[in-house]
Chain A
């Protein structure tokens, strides 16, 4: 797989074809990135190390080339990330020469702002919100760019591209600004911030196809590999890492698996798969009978789980 090198980032070459081919979704995302930089003073890209935020980084590069990405990346680190994701993150940031801000959920726990969940289904996914809101206040970010997509979940299907949040980070889902044509209204009051979703209109398959076409490097856990796992409630959990709670009667076995989404380890389940190349992953997604968030335990808490989290400031 090709890596984005210093060379390709800074020197333009003449294209082999003289007419630019349009990718409507890519063009729309680039347009949105440019509106963010024009309309806000202090934007930040929320980077999780997952495929969606990696795709955002590539789109941001494209939007401002030959200039560097004109905003920092911020990772809200739950402390329960897959080690491969963190290594990948650090390498990418170094290659791009952009600033990386990391804020830790562990610090929020230590400061007593949030309490760690316990038990079988404990996850730090919910706790991220507090750390995120604190970081937004600390750095006075007025726009936070995220990789959420409308096809992921039905509350997200209602989300705007510029989504206004109040001082408490809350999403007022019943009072959203209409978004007409491609006119994005970024006017806000002091203390408010906007969550921006440039790949709102992409589907999971669009993202994977783009990664394939652009040869974008992604963390190895997205590809099939051998892993010690255990099965609970029909979902496959990693047994290699201590942060996932495992009861004594939950048996460990070795299987060939991959991860379809990469979030906090404690809420991200693996899928059985032999797709070890990007081409195989794309065709697996194309034929999939289960949705992407089917392997996310955080959405299974209730029918309105996502809507509730968003009202509290989750991205």
Chain B
């Protein structure tokens, strides 16, 4: 079955948990014992309604404080699709969690409280989903029941949001506006009679008709070698296969390929998936490939089609989201993990910090603090083979690992 990955972000007050709870409840994805557990927890805290955040906030600290701290993954399915929701907190101090959730999602649901309209947090959600090039955005205007299901309120919010969209750097991004009440269940799974002026889909209806595509699909074919498979058995005495996941496009037997960094050329001889061979495999497939010629290839090398070479450089410019308590500073050394490659790197400079607040743009600063996003120059100890994030998500993104603590300190999107 197709799997559609969705990111949600928000705080307790805007009804995010209620919306997710509604999706689960109305698609009958919550089993009786789970509903019972939620009922019990809600009663213990003196609520007269079901508080679905008890289903999503999985840590003791989250339930105590009534906030989402870390990404939770929630699963439900319909007859058509399987859905995975990456549920993340929405405050500025959790920007890194939002970025994490958005990195694996095709769809983002941005929640707006109809009474409050577009606020700073809305802008931040939109900015991050725009930066990460999340393909489909659902702007869910929630709590419509508290504004008398007013078409005017909905339209005002819609035009305010359209104004935000003016900063968009991703023209193909699809925006869909849906007026909902998560509490009453209006336009989540069931269509409501309360807003006859709205003739669009419900949230689930919209999700059901979206075409699923691999988040990392798109762009030219990139095959980063994970392992070299050498069975050394009788049947496969001379077998040398290269294991990896195809990212972008597809590979066919007979395709002319170039191996990076050696720039040696060969042709695809066989495509294995387990105990069968195929003529063709598309992006998203984890396969084993053999080549016509004997070439020295190791982990970290990349196979590409000979007429689709990526850039090969020792210096990159990238937008970086910082995730570590220790600030990012010029001169600092980090390990760059880019595809299956790990390369030592040095920060050349932080050109500016990009504000995630609406209205202000950039601050000149030579540092990036936790949860800040900025434009960074990085020098590498050896070349990497990359594309811009815009052209190829998988080959245009990397993480920075602090060699002292091994922490994943930041994520970068190559310009």
Contact = CB atoms under 8 A, between A and B. Distances in A.
A68 B231 contact: yes
Contacts of B279: 18-19
Given A10-B233, A31-B245, A151-B75, A188 B282 contact: no
B127 interface: no
A22 B285 contact: yes
A304 interface: yes
B33 A181 contact: no
B33 A27 contact: no
A203 to B, nearest CB: 5
Given A174-B61, A203-B75, A61 B274 contact: yes
Contacts of A201: 3, 73, 75, 84
Interface in B17-35: 31-34
A59 B282 CA distance: 19
A156 B59 CA distance: 9
Contacts of A232: none
B74 interface: yes
Nearest to B215: A181
B278 A304 contact: no
B408 interface: yes
Interface string A216-248: 000000000000000000000000000000000
Nearest to B44: A303
Interface string B194-222: 00000000000000000000111000000
Given A154-B55, A173-B59, A206-B82, A24 B273 contact: no
A19 B281 CA distance: 6
* SS of B interface (majority): mixed
Interface in A155-212: 155-158, 173-174, 176-183, 185, 187-189, 200-201, 203, 205-206, 209
B284 A34 contact: no
A79 B54 CA distance: 35
A290 B59 contact: no
Interface string B255-291: 0000000000000000111111111111011111000
B333 interface: no
Interface stretch (B116-124, B155-163, B361-369, B398-406): B398-406
B59 A12 contact: no
B277 A12 contact: yes
A25 interface: yes
A179 B102 CA distance: 11
A12 to B, nearest CB: 5
A181 B393 contact: yes
A20 interface: yes
Nearest to A67: B231
A63 interface: yes
A150 interface: yes
B73 A37 contact: no
A12 B407 contact: no
A9 B63 CA distance: 48
B245 A27 contact: yes
Given A37-B227, A158-B71, A178-B411, A24 B3 contact: yes
B239 interface: yes
B286 A63 contact: yes
Interface stretch (B93-101, B175-183, B301-309, B345-353): B93-101
A25 B58 contact: no
Contact of B100 (A154, A180, A203): A180
Nearest to B247: A182
Contacts of B72: 154, 157-158
Contacts of A178: 96-97, 99-100, 323, 408, 411
A282 to B, nearest CB: 12
Interface string A67-106: 1100000000000000000000000000000000000000
Nearest to B57: A154
Interface string B217-243: 000000000110111110110010101
B278 A158 contact: no
A134 interface: no
A12 B277 CA distance: 7
Contacts of A291: 31, 33-34
A14 B272 CA distance: 9
Contact of A20 (B56, B235, B273, B407): B273
A195 to B, nearest CB: 16
B226 A38 contact: yes
B278 A15 contact: yes
Nearest to B102: A180
A189 B235 CA distance: 39
Interface of A: 8-15, 17-20, 22, 24-28, 30-31, 34-35, 37-38, 61-68, 150-151, 153-158, 173-174, 176-183, 185, 187-189, 200-201, 203, 205-206, 209, 288-291, 294, 303-304, 307
Given A201-B3, A205-B77, 14 more contacts: A27-B284, A34-B286, A35-B226, A37-B227, A38-B340, A153-B58, A183-B398, A183-B399, A187-B406, A188-B406, A189-B406, A201-B75, A201-B84, A206-B82
Interface of B: 1-3, 31-34, 37, 41, 55-61, 63, 69-75, 77, 82, 84, 96-97, 99-100, 103-104, 214-216, 226-227, 229-233, 235-236, 239, 241, 243-245, 271-282, 284-288, 299, 323, 335, 337, 340, 393-394, 397-399, 401, 403, 406-408, 411
16 contacts: A10-B233, A13-B276, A20-B280, A20-B281, A38-B340, A66-B272, A173-B59, A173-B70, A174-B59, A174-B70, A180-B397, A181-B394, A182-B216, A182-B245, A200-B73, A206-B82
